[in-house]
Structure 1
Amino acid sequence: MLQPDRFDVTVMLDYYTPYVSGLTEAARLTAEGLAARGWKVAVACYQHDPELPRHEVVNGVHVFRAPVLARISRGFISPQLPLLAGRLAARSDILHMHLPNPEAGFVAALRRRARLVVTYHIDVFLPDNPVNRFGMWAVDQTCKSAVRKADLVITNSEDQAHGSRIWPTIKRRRLAPISSPCVDRNGGTPSMRDGDGLHVGFMGRITVDKGIEYLIRAFRSHDDPDARLLIAGDYATVAGGSNIDQLRAEAGDDSRIRFTGLLRGEAVRDFYASIDVFALPSISESFGIVQVEAMMAGIPPVSTELPGSRYPVAATGFGRLVPPRDPDALREAIVELARMPAEDREAGREAATKLFGGDAFLDAHEEAFRQLLSGSRS
């Protein structure tokens, strides 16, 4: 397959499409958006599924995948990924790394003349035990090593950056807060509704850090027989494993609760069109693309009071914030938002779309990249 002699940007991250997470979607939409504007873009990532090709072009982006030796928790061991990213960076003007990533420090050291941009999405989160605490510390160290070498650090918001464990390192670099790309999900049909009762929805990876058990407990304490809870997201192929068995046990025999699995395409629009309130009960979150997409569809969100994830609600005034791990506060906020008048929902939709919709994220990336390249040439 033919490929350019040089690339404008090489993107480095762990998982890339067809894997779905907030980080991978942010990287994909940015890479594909730049490619559509004429930038030559490469991606270096894990071959997380051995059936995926080592090289292919996806929507104008050259995707190169490094084979893996083993899996550890949420990540892989892949000695070839830093080498692959280093070779591509040597043929590129910019190396754009999405963190956290355990190979970050090694790749940053191999960038050669490429300008280094680091998008720091979130502090790595693992369930608490001695091994995981060491793992989190180790990833923090390699991320700090990459940040120290960065010409530019991007975060979803200043709030997220200030709340990070590695803020003392980030604050010494040039920082550009650029919100994650959010897709307009309007236009769906309410095909997932079951009656006229309150419909609450969650969408995201089905993992421990999403705090879904607290949402289930909140919902089950709401005794309306006509209410429904839709929990959408991947639990079959999620990196690091899913807590789906625990959540099914939490749901018990409550027939009002439905696990839909991973939704794609028009089914995502239909999901938003089917709910009255969106809930993001995370115990670790940096922005929450899904809550913003709900906002842009006129659905008020309940989110947890965490650095980064609270920013969309705080910036728009649309939705409610509750403490993490608090089912009672979550239930009260959901019931309150269910009564929100249509005109307030429309005002919230307009505010969220103005702030987070369209190509503002792409314009900001392109401008930042052009400034870096202009500075290197001068």
Structure 2
Amino acid sequence: MGTSMRIGMISEHASPLAVLGEADAGGQNVHVAALARRLAADGHHVDVYTRRDDAALPCRVPLTDGVDVVHVDAGPPRPLPKDELLPWMDAFGDELAARFTDPAVRPDVLHAHFWMSGVAALRATRWSVHPGVPDIPVVQTFHALGTVKRRHQGDADTSPPARVDLEAALCRDVDLVVATCQDEVRELHRMGADDDRLRVVPCGVDLGVFTPGPHGSRRPDGDGTLRVLSLGRLVERKGVATVIEALALLAGRGRSDVELVVAGGPPAAGVHRDPEARRLLDLALRAGVADRVRFVGALSHDQVPGLLHDVDAVACTPWYEPFGIVPLEAAACGRPVVASAVGGMLDTVVHDRTGLLVPPRDPEAVADALERLSDDRYRHRLGAAARVRAERSYGWAAVARQTADAYAEVVGAPSTRGRPDRTATRPAPVPTGGVR
């Protein structure tokens, strides 16, 4: 779109200001912050609306020129797990609606990130009557789908029971759904999403921050140890246990030259008090590989490139993954990835060309892949190809242009759904008296 837009993004639990690796802070935080920055660099103005989780936070915090993080009062001003936030989304939407009566802050388009952000967006614009609020077009990116989470986690899924129905309602009622990968498109089709209101725009990576480094390899001395990184939140579904089990299998083959660095969770000083870190360490002890597993705790996003430069390969082996930012960051740094063949990694990792795809929860396959990556020439060839592909397809400049093109489809266009019809599509209301 040639003209600049005022863009409202809602990221109800994932603030661009959060520290990565902490609870509920991960790829969505990075995505929202980077996309907002790039859209602002292209001449748009972006307000990112996120829930106030600290009473001392100012209303507006500048993120960069053209981007403000706006804290919205919705529920108690303290940290809450994201799965407890649904009862406060009506309050979130009502505050947005009140703000949007002011033409100076009303966005041309509202982009909801995550399903609860979509609930707030439609509460503000369609699912409730707010006099004076125009029909602002709403674009939805889910980042994760409740149907997929329920399928893989079963009784361990802590999402609100209404999530799946609300996500289906969002597919019907928003103006456009922006999916991040082809696997998500297949899931959205099962939920009833229409092709004519569905676009694919991948997540991106900062190609100027994530680079191959000065030498392209951390091992100019060729010490023979393959150092592998697992980076992300410390939760069971991320599959770090699969990599530890693979190390044990390699030891059984006489290969004690592979070590694992685990980044994520609380800060380094408290990481060994984290329940998942303790579970993983106990597993490593029982498997006899504890001396080759090191926990480094939470990292700021600025620290991630340096850590990637200090390893040879990256292991991303979750049970499922909606998209996965880490494989892109690794690729941009010229590091091959051993990745579960799930979700967005089916798009971002090209098997035997930029990395190796393995079945989820398959330690044997991970061990085989790591053994292949012990070959320096093969590993460096995959890493170089990964960087080239990242440059061609996943830079934020290209991703932001595609996102702005998606916005342009709905800005100024006739509404694809009438307001009276939308009011009738919302599932049963959620009690708003607080979380018990």
- Which bin holds the TM-score, normalised by the shorter protein? 0.7 to 0.9
Normalised to the residue count of structure 2, the TM-score between the two structures is 0.75
Aligned match of 2:62 = 57
Distance in 1 of aligned mates of 2:212 and 2:335: 13
Residue 225 of structure 2 aligns with an amino acid whose one-letter code is: G
Equivalent of 1:233 in 253, 264, 269: 264
- Whether contact under 8 Å (2:218, 2:311) holds in the other structure is no
Q: Over residues 217-263 of structure 1, what are the superposed CA-to-partner deviations in whole Å (9 max), with x where a residue is unaligned?
A: 1123322444221111234699xx96223222223371211111122
Aligned match of 1:250 = 283
Aligned pairs for 1:213-292 (under 5 A) are: 213-223=241-251, 224-235=255-266, 243-252=276-285, 254-292=290-328
Classify the secondary structure of the residue corresponding to 2:234: coil
Distance in 1 of aligned mates of 2:237 and 2:81: 17
* Two-structure CA RMSD over aligned residues (Å): 3.1
Aligned match of 1:198 = 226
Distance in 2 of aligned mates of 1:308 and 1:342: 23
The reply on whether 1:105 has 2:119 as its aligned counterpart is yes
- Whether contact under 8 Å (2:34, 2:396) holds in the other structure is no
5+ long unaligned stretches in structure 2: 21-25, 126-133, 416-436
Q: Over residues 308-332 of structure 1, what are the superposed CA-to-partner deviations in whole Å (9 max), with x where a residue is unaligned?
A: 2221124894211111111111111
Equivalent of 2:200 in 150, 160, 177: 177
Aligned match of 1:120 = 142
Classify the secondary structure of the residue corresponding to 1:16: coil
- Whether contact under 8 Å (1:302, 1:320) holds in the other structure is yes
How much has 1:161 moved relative to structure 2? 1.7
Distance in 1 of aligned mates of 2:372 and 2:342: 21
Aligned match of 2:37 = 32
Equivalent of 1:156 in 180, 183, 188: 180
Equivalent of 2:95 in 70, 84, 87: 84
Tell which has more relative contact order, 1 or 2 (C-alpha 8 A, sep 6+). Answer: 2
Aligned match of 1:3 = none
The reply on whether 1:186 has 2:196 as its aligned counterpart is no
Aligned match of 2:9 = 11
Distance in 2 of aligned mates of 1:119 and 1:260: 32
Q: Over residues 13-51 of structure 1, what are the superposed CA-to-partner deviations in whole Å (9 max), with x where a residue is unaligned?
A: 222122231112111111122222222211211123445
Larger Rg: 2
Classify the secondary structure of the residue corresponding to 2:300: coil
Seen in structure 2, the aligned counterparts of structure 1 residues 222 and 85 have a Cα distance that, compared at 3 Å, is farther
Aligned match of 2:433 = none
Seen in structure 2, the aligned counterparts of structure 1 residues 320 and 88 have a Cα distance that, compared at 3 Å, is farther
Seen in structure 2, the aligned counterparts of structure 1 residues 49 and 327 have a Cα distance that, compared at 3 Å, is farther
Shifted more, 124-133 versus 218-227: the winner is: 124-133
Seen in structure 2, the aligned counterparts of structure 1 residues 242 and 106 have a Cα distance that, compared at 3 Å, is farther
Seen in structure 2, the aligned counterparts of structure 1 residues 106 and 334 have a Cα distance that, compared at 3 Å, is same
How much has 1:286 moved relative to structure 2? 1.5
Shifted more, 360-369 versus 138-147: the winner is: 138-147
Shifted more, 220-229 versus 25-34: the winner is: 220-229
Shifted more, 69-78 versus 225-234: the winner is: 69-78
Residue 222 of structure 1 aligns with an amino acid whose one-letter code is: L
Distance in 1 of aligned mates of 2:28 and 2:235: 15
Distance in 2 of aligned mates of 1:44 and 1:151: 19
Q: Over residues 170-204 of structure 1, what are the superposed CA-to-partner deviations in whole Å (9 max), with x where a residue is unaligned?
A: 23551110010212311547789995401111111
- Whether contact under 8 Å (2:109, 2:138) holds in the other structure is yes
- Whether contact under 8 Å (2:218, 2:312) holds in the other structure is no
5+ long unaligned stretches in structure 1: 1-6
The reply on whether 1:209 has 2:231 as its aligned counterpart is no
The reply on whether 1:368 has 2:406 as its aligned counterpart is yes
The reply on whether 1:352 has 2:390 as its aligned counterpart is yes
Distance in 1 of aligned mates of 2:31 and 2:379: 32
How much has 1:160 moved relative to structure 2? 2.0
Aligned match of 1:140 = 164
Distance in 2 of aligned mates of 1:315 and 1:95: 37
Classify the secondary structure of the residue corresponding to 2:39: helix
Aligned match of 1:45 = 50
Residue 96 of structure 2 aligns with an amino acid whose one-letter code is: A
- Whether contact under 8 Å (1:99, 1:143) holds in the other structure is no
Residue 310 of structure 1 aligns with an amino acid whose one-letter code is: L
Distance in 2 of aligned mates of 1:341 and 1:172: 39
How much has 1:169 moved relative to structure 2? 2.5
- Larger strand fraction of residues: 1
Seen in structure 2, the aligned counterparts of structure 1 residues 320 and 343 have a Cα distance that, compared at 3 Å, is closer
Residue 56 of structure 1 aligns with an amino acid whose one-letter code is: V
Distance in 2 of aligned mates of 1:203 and 1:66: 30
Distance in 2 of aligned mates of 1:272 and 1:320: 17
Seen in structure 2, the aligned counterparts of structure 1 residues 27 and 315 have a Cα distance that, compared at 3 Å, is farther
- Whether contact under 8 Å (1:93, 1:113) holds in the other structure is no
Aligned pairs for 1:298-309 (under 5 A) are: 298-309=334-345
Distance in 2 of aligned mates of 1:227 and 1:315: 21
Distance in 2 of aligned mates of 1:107 and 1:89: 11
How much has 1:94 moved relative to structure 2? 0.7
